[in-house]
Amino acid sequence: MSSLLEYRLLSFDVYGTLIDWESGILNAFQTYLAQHNASDKFSRKHLLEIFQGFEREQQAKTPDMLYSQLLTAIHPLWAQELGLPLPSAGESAEFGRSVGQWPAFPDSVNALKRLSKTYKLLILSNVDRESLGQTLAGPLNGVHFDTVLTAQDLKSYKPDLRNFECMLDVVKSEYGFEKTQVLQTAQSQFHDHYPARRIGIKSVWIERSGAIMGNQAEEIYDWKFDKLVDMADAVEKEL
């Protein structure tokens, strides 16, 4: 196993890795469930697995759709699949705008500040610029990212390999770093670790215990930590 200090840049997934998107999504859906006396009717796992299916299908079908609009589009499908009344257009739009309110994991900001002393930090996110901007101004306020790339910029959603190829092109042109100096740092096996392995990028799996979305039967990674703070600890220990 090579050293974490051999790398120069961390390419981060945000939602699921730095932001607790599962809690954020369910919290945003909770108002609708409560209105229909269904708050305790479905398990967390059941709700998220249905959401995940619709999200992946919509991203594949409309890769150029803004993520906030994508959430708005799948909100009524999610409700219908659960056997609940269709939400109003306003309720679906409100759900689509909820991204910036999704909470950060408690260790994210501190760990990112520590890691930024050793690495360039890059975002490679499936979320649109406006929603991500709200997150950076809110839950992740105080953290500086050197480069930000979104699905809106790239016109495609991870796990499309094009997103990773474009990221590597930007890293090469802006910093002169090679693929061998980049670590994809993420929770989702589906969105990040599988495509990273296919394109030859080493990866760090931030497992985030209890996560449901993005899991695969086979787990692929080069390093594994339960939390991002554990990775920061490991880097500082090597230093």
Whether 13 sits among the annotated catalytic residues: the reply is yes
DSSP string for 42-91: S-HHHHHHHHHHHHHHHHHH-TTS-HHHHHHHHHHHHHHHTT-PPPPHHH
Q: Where are the alpha helices (DSSP H) in the chain?
A: 21-35, 44-61, 67-81, 89-96, 108-115, 129-137, 151-154, 161-175, 194-199, 228-238
Rg (CA), the chain: 18
**Cα distance between residue 220 and residue 152, in whole Å:** 27
Q: Could you say which of 13, 20, 128, 160 is catalytic?
A: 13
Cis (ω within 30 of 0) for the bond into 87?
no
Residue type, 107: D
Lookup result for tokens 């030859």: 200
| CA-wise closest residue to 212 among 192, 191, 185, 188 | 188
Residues catalogued as catalytic: 13
